Every structure is written in structure tokens, then in C-alpha cells.
Amino acid sequence: MIRIDRLRYRYRAAQPLALDGVSLDIERGGIYGLLGPNGAGKTTLISLLAGLLAPQDGGITIDGEPLAVWRAVHPAAIALVPQDYAFYPMLTVAENLAFFAGVQGLPRRQRQENCAEAMAFACLEAVAGRRAGELSGGLRRRLNLAIGLTGAPEVLLLDEPTVGVDPQSRRFMLDAVKRFAAAGRTVLYTSHYMDEVEAVCADVAIIDHGKVLTAGTLADVRRGGASALRLTLVRPLPEALAADWRARFPAMTATDNRVDFPGLASDGLAPLLTELAAAGVAVEHVAYGAPNLEQVFMRLTHHSLRD
Amino acid sequence: MRDWHGLAALFIMPAVFILVMSLALAESLSARQGIAIGYAVLDLDASPVSRTLDEQLGQTDVFTKHAPPSGETDARRRVEAGEIAFVLVIPQGFARQIGANKTPTLRFLLDPAVPRALREGFRQQAEAATIRVWLTHVLERLGQSMMLPELRRVTERVGAPEIVSEAVGLDGGGEVLAPPSSVQQNVPAWLIFSMFFVVVPISAVFIGERQRGTLQRLFTQRVSFGFVLAGKFAPFLLVNQLQAVVMVAIGRWLVPLCGGEALVLPGGASALAALWLLSLAVGVAAVGWALFIASIAHSSEQATVLGGAGNIVMGAIGGIMVPRFVMPPAMQPWTRLSPMDWALEGFHHVMLRHGGLSDALPVVAALVCFGLCALLAAILLGRRARD
């Protein structure tokens, strides 16, 4: 288990804390989703896990050992796949893999095996001799991932791994991440695409302003939000009915043709539809139930713009 | 190393630079050829004495004589148009003044863009020719009074004194060295200058790595910053040495093909070893400096400004653009601040003064120390930035 315990980090004395007492338990052998708006502290947390930054307060342990001790024994066991294309565009795909495997000081045979496995894993054999700078966006993403695998890591830190790729490449990347985790290895997955996180992660944490807002299994996090009703009407809600509903349901919001009732009990649904029919307003779409991850995320992070 | 365009620029630009500078400065620095700067004589006296002065001035082969102007207005127009640089105006009554033992006043119209050294050179030649004309006149009169007509021809027979130039070497043994050609003087200076421009490709590679996140990835793979820098130091040092070989080859073989004088390499194992060590030391200094700039710059623009401007300042202070001896005395000690000055001195010891290994070693040591200190500073700054 990767245990992050009351981790605090501040870049400069005058700046607010980038991480303010973050505690998380990440089980080995699964995909853990790390969500948060821009500036929430995700990159800082990943940098601490990758060893790029040293913890100032609190700590990180892996299998009960402090991160630095564990990494000294397993130097290639944590790999970071950054959001940027972190390789040499002038080198070919094979040369990039060989270079990044080479700098890790692995024995030659293991280096070659790891490169071959990484290339096969990301299906890059057909472009092994092509310069990385000439690859399409999807192939670059796959090379970026493959380079992260050259050290045969136990823990993979993926920072927005599907940004800017077409749906096919995205599907490939998600399947690849699942395959990696299926072999008993751990993935920490950050993304702004909530549907991706819902598709691949068993556990998630949402952080903002350096604090963990919620963490747990995906089902638990979604259950944490009360059921809600969203009605999409063929025309805007009549003013008289809107005034009546606002008086009865203070949390209700109406925007254009859409009406939201957060925290509505299931027995309140039918009377509302009856009242709409009586007012002569047809309903185009009804959505009721537990919120999806995006709704939970938006509710917890208060919808506000961060950049 | 795969950035072929960057590497080509690193070789082609200095090659063109050395070729152009060697050919452009060949005439101005050669003792054996005239200077393309032209002059004319406006003889308002039109006397046999003034014609003699005109002829005397024409005997010097330093400046190129042009057809006389039709009058002062024409003279001024031709100077203003840049056709000629100087016009010597011989006033009316010049012969009469010489005859009366009075000092004649000659006027000297000049192009203000002409360097002061050339201006003074022409003025002194005109003065010397005038004195010779006056001396001829005095001897003629003396010959007449002493009934010795041959005195008149003394100045014609004696002619101008010849001064043979000999360069002074470092051996102290009085070996006669031919004065260096412009190629001999220029190639080391521009070679050093070019080698320091390795800062541009190194910064581009380094900043690209940082911006793409490649450096971060390497750090997560437990690669130290020192190792990252060392990985650039060795290949770029090799590129630098190839650059030196290409530059020397251009001076040795291409410049003469284009009409310039060939670069002469010093003979003997000691001098050649000194030359190679100097080139290696300049490479260490240049690559160390480049890595330092690359590690403190946050963007390619910053690196270009810091590296490019830094090199130009180092070149200006270090006597690359303006030779140290031409600088004002108060400024000359400042040249010692620039590693380019140290390198230039080393190359001059070996290539111009025919020094050997022992003469080059202090310069080599200083340059290597500079390069290693810059590298160390880059490592420390990089480490601090990571922490």
C-alpha cells in the first residue's frame, strides 16, 4: 500500500500551502484516480511521489517503508508519464526507448527486454524506426507511455495521459492502463476527463486547495452526493410555476429550458411531472438518481473557474 | 546531435565569417599590398615644385592615387561621394613659399568615416613628402652657393629609407619571423568567438528538455543533474573540436583558393601539441559557459540574449573585435576579465610568436578552470532549482 500521511508542502514561504495535510491510502494493484481543478495540488502530489520534491511535513510510505528508503531498494519501480511529450523528437522511437532504459542503469539484457516489452505494450513496433517528432498525437502519447514502462515499474504515475488524442487512441490508452494494472501493478491516474476516470478507476480522490475533499471507491464517492432530478423542457418554465416551485423547493434552479432539483426524494418526482403537464409544458428529458462523478466534482469544487 | 540544421549553422556560419573577414582584412593588414583607400592631389600651384610633391606622394604604394580633381568643388564632391578618402590641396604660391624658406600650409580634405590611424598615416606621408621637397630645394641652393651641383641629386639618389619588418618570437633566440598575415591574425580570434557560440545549440537542447518535461522524467529515473550536464559536455566538446579543425582547414586551404593568404600552422610537435591543447581548453571553457547559461535561462529567448550578448561582450572586452593594443590604456587591463582574451593570447603565443607547449600551458590551465567553474556553478544552480 502507498500511504500518504498528512502531507504538507509549500513552494515558497510567502505562498499558500500547495498541499495542506493530504492523507490517502492507495491500494497496490489498481488504478487510483486523482481529480482536482487546475492548481489543486495534483502535480505537487505526483512530484512528491515521483521523488522530484522532498516532503516538508508528513510522509509517504510504500509497503510500510519511507518512500526514499523504498526507492533506494527499487530505483526504477516508480515511473512518471508526464502530460508533455517528454522525449527527444530528433531520436527514433526505438532510440528514445533505448536511451531512457539506458539511463536507468539496468543490465543490457534486461534493458533490451524491457524496451521490447514496452514497445509491444504500446503497439509501436511498426514505427520503431521513425523519428518521434514525426509521429501523430496518438502515437506520441503511446511512446510517452512506453518510455514510462522501460524500467518495468511497479507504480505508474500518469498525468493527463490522453490529452489531445482521437477517440481510438484514447480507447487504446485506457485499455493499456487497465492491462498494466491487471498485472498487479499500481496506477495513479490524473485526468480532467471524468468519464475516463469513471471508466478505469476503482478508487478516486478529489482534491482542491491542497486538501482532500473526498476519497474512496468510485461508488462511495458518487453515493456521497444526494439524488437529484434534472428536467429538460421543450420551453422555459412558466413564471407562475417557477415562483411556486422556488417557494416550495429553495434549492431549485431554472436555466433556460433546464430545471434542477438537488436532493429531491424519489416520491417527489411524480407530482412535479403532473404539475408540468397541468401547466401545458412538455418534458423532453428526465434524469433522476445519484450524481455522476462530474456532478460530484463540480459540487465539491464549487463550480468556480480556477485559471 | 540530430539537429542537423543547428549543427550546420555551427559550422557554416563561422566558416563564412572567417573566410569573409580574412579576405576583407587581407589588404588592410598586409605590409606587402596597397590599401584600397584612394586619394587625389589638387595642385592649385601647378609649379615644378608642387608637381615634385605630387610625384613624391605617388611613390608610396600604401594608398591608391586617383585622377586629380578639376577644382575644390569637384574634390569635395568626390570625397563626399566616397569615391576617394583624402584630397591633398597644394595651395597657390607653394613653390614661392618653399623658395622663401617659409612653411607652406597644405590642406587635407578627408572623409570623416575613415579611421583615425589611416588618416594620420596619410597625413604623415604628405608631411614627409613635403619635407623631402623642401630639403631638395635647400640642398639645391646650398649646392649652388658651394658650387656643388650634385648636392641637388642627393635626395634622389638616397631615396626613402627602407625599414624591414621582423616579428619577435618567444624563443628569445633572435629568430627572424615574417610579420603575420591577416589570416594568421584573424583565424584564432574568430575561431575562439565561433567556438563560444556553442551556447546557442546547447541552450536550445537544454531548454527544450526542460520545457518538454524530459528533464523531469530523467530526474524521476534517478538521473542526477550533473550526469545530465555531463551527457551534453562530451558530445558538444567533440563538436567544438571538429569546429576548430574545420576553421583551421578553411584558413589553411580555402582562403588561399579565394585569393587570400594561407594560414601557416606552427611547425614542431611541441607547437602542434600546444595548439591542440589550446583548442581543447577553449572547448572546455565554451561548453562549460554554455551549460551555465543554459541552466540559468528559463526560455530560449533568454538563453539567446544571455548567451549571444554575453559572447559579444566577452569578444568586445577580450580583444576579438578590437585588438587590445588599440584600446585606450585605461581599458586594456579589463581585457583580462574575458576568457576570450586568455585564449587569444594563447593562440598568439603559438601561432604568431612561435611559442611551444610551456608557453600555452598557463592559458590552457586558466581556460580549463573557467570551464569547470562554470560547469560546477551550473550543477549547483540546477540542484538548488530542483530543491
- Tell me the chain B residues in contact with residue A146 when contact means C-beta distances shorter than 8 Å: none
Give the nearest partner residue to A82 out of B216, B222, B223, using CB atoms. Answer: B216
Task: Spell out which residues of chain B touch residue A100, defining contact as CB-CB under 8 Å.
Answer: 217-218, 221
Whether B222 and chain A come into contact, CB under 8 Å, resolves to yes
pLDDT tens figures, B314-362: 888 888 877 777 677 788 888 889 999 999 989 888 887 778 888 889 9
Does B162 lie at the interface with A, CB-CB under 8 angstroms? no
Q: What single letter denotes the amino acid at residue A161?
A: P
Mean pLDDT for the stretch of residues B271-291: 92
Closest partner residue to A104 (CB to CB) among B214, B216, B221 is B221
- Closest-approach residue (CA) in chain B for A54: B387
Q: Give dist(CA B196, CA B234) in Å, integer.
A: 15
Query: Would you call A84 and B211 a contact, using CB atoms and an 8 Å cutoff?
Result: yes
Provide the 3-class DSSP secondary structure of residue A18. Answer: coil
C-alpha cell at B353: 610568436
3-state secondary structure of B197: coil
Beta bridge partners of A2: A26, A62
Contacts of A98 (CB under 8 A, 6+ apart): A111, A115
The answer to whether the CB of A126 falls within 8 A of the CB of A139 is no
Kindly provide the b/e burial profile for residues A170-195, where b requires at least 16 CB atoms within 10 angstroms of the residue's own CB.
bebbbebbeebbeeebbbbbbbbebe
A203 strand-pairing partners:
A32, A217
Is residue A274 within a helix (H) or strand (E), and if so which, with residue range? helix A269-278
Confidence of residue B280 (pLDDT cuts 50, 70, 90): very high
Quote the minimal CA–CA distance from B207 to chain A in Å. Answer: 12
Question: Given strand A19-26, what is the order of strands in its sheet?
Answer: A19-26, A2-9, A57-62, A65-66
Respond yes or no on whether ipTM tops 0.85: no
Q: Is the dihedral of CA A25, A30, A35, A41 positive or negative?
A: positive
A85 touches chain B (CB under 8 A): yes
Burial class (CB in 10 A: 0-12, 13-18, 19+), B212: middle
Output the CATH code of domain A2-223: 3.40.50.300
B33 touches chain A (CB under 8 A): no
At B58 the pLDDT is 82
- B251 pLDDT band (50/70/90 cuts)? confident
Give residue B277's identity as a one-letter amino acid code: L
A155: Cα separation from own chain's centroid: 15
Q: How far apart are CA B137 and CA B50, in angstroms?
A: 12
Average pLDDT over every residue of A258-267:
84
CATH 3.40.50.300 domain locations along chain A: 2-223
Above 80 in pLDDT, residue B169? no
Higher-scoring residue by pLDDT: A81, A219? A81
d(CA B148, CA A215): 122
The crossing angle, in degrees rounded to 10, of helices A108-121 and A167-182 is 130
CB atoms within 10 A of CB A279: 12
A54 contact B CB<8A: yes
- The CATH H-level superfamily of B34-158 is abc type-2 transporter like domain (3.40.1710.10)
In contact, A208 and A36? CB cutoff 8 Å = yes
- Given a cut of 80, whether residue B380 has pLDDT beyond it is yes
Number of Cβ within 10 Å of residue B215's Cβ equals 21
Paired residues of A152 in beta bridges: none
Nearest residue, CB atoms, A80 vs list B1, B3, B217: B217
Q: What percent of chain B has pLDDT over 90?
A: 14
